[in-house]
Amino acid sequence: MLGIDLDDPELSLPAHAEIRVLDAFEADPQSLGGPFDLVISDMAPKTSGQRHADQFRSYELVIRALQLGKAVLKPGGSFVAKIFQGAEFEEARSALREVFGKVRTIRPDATRDESYELFLIGLGFEPLNS
Ligand SMILES: C[S@@+](CC[C@H](N)C(=O)[O-])C[C@H]1O[C@@H](n2cnc3c(N)ncnc32)[C@H](O)[C@@H]1O
């Protein structure tokens, strides 16, 4: 199990888990290992208060997570990514549809009413389409 984040979460982890302090935009997919059954992105930009700018940065993070996912997922693998719902949401969903057999959107019950976060889920990775 591998996690990456800009900040060190300073957690104590079991032997099979590793966190690397890394910018997803600079990560070399080949250095991440794998292949993996599942890629999860909970990445979010530091919010600026400018909703549209934050939504666009969130979209960019999802697309980057998807690029990394395409490089490290097993055929049939799954992908989950948090996204701030905004103008680019449909584009992000379409990008998942190109490489996953099924795509779903969920808003967990625990999400705060005022939050505009959603999760995009891709099931059944099809590497030949990537
Ligand atoms: C909502 S927090 C979630 C963190 C973690 N999943 C948790 O529950 O504690 C969003 C995280 O995305 C990370 N992040 C934002 N941009 C990133 C990037 N370009 N590369 C890697 N991590 C990034 C931030 O450092 C932050 O820790």
* Whether the predicted pLDDT of 81 surpasses 90: yes
Q: What is the CA radius of gyration of the chain?
A: 15
Active-site residue numbers?
A: 82
Residues linked to residue 125 through DSSP beta bridges, in sequence order: 100
Q: Which pLDDT does position 115 carry in this prediction?
A: 83
Per-residue pLDDT reduced to its tens digit, 88-111? 999 999 999 999 999 999 998 888
Compute the distance from residue 45 Cα to the ligand 1 centre, in Å. Answer: 7
Q: How far is CA 16 from the centre of its chain?
A: 21
Strands across the sheet containing 36-41: 36-41, 73-84, 117-125, 100-106
- In this predicted model, what pLDDT tens digit does every residue of 66-79 receive, in sequence order? 999 999 999 999 99
Per-domain boundaries in the chain: 34-129
CA distance 89 to 11: 32
Distance 5 CA to ligand 1 centre (A): 5
Who lines ligand 1 at CB under 6 A? 4-7, 23-25, 42-44, 61
pLDDT band at 125 (very low <50, low <70, confident <90, very high): very high
**Domain 34-129 is classified in which CATH homologous superfamily?**
Vaccinia Virus protein VP39 (3.40.50.150)
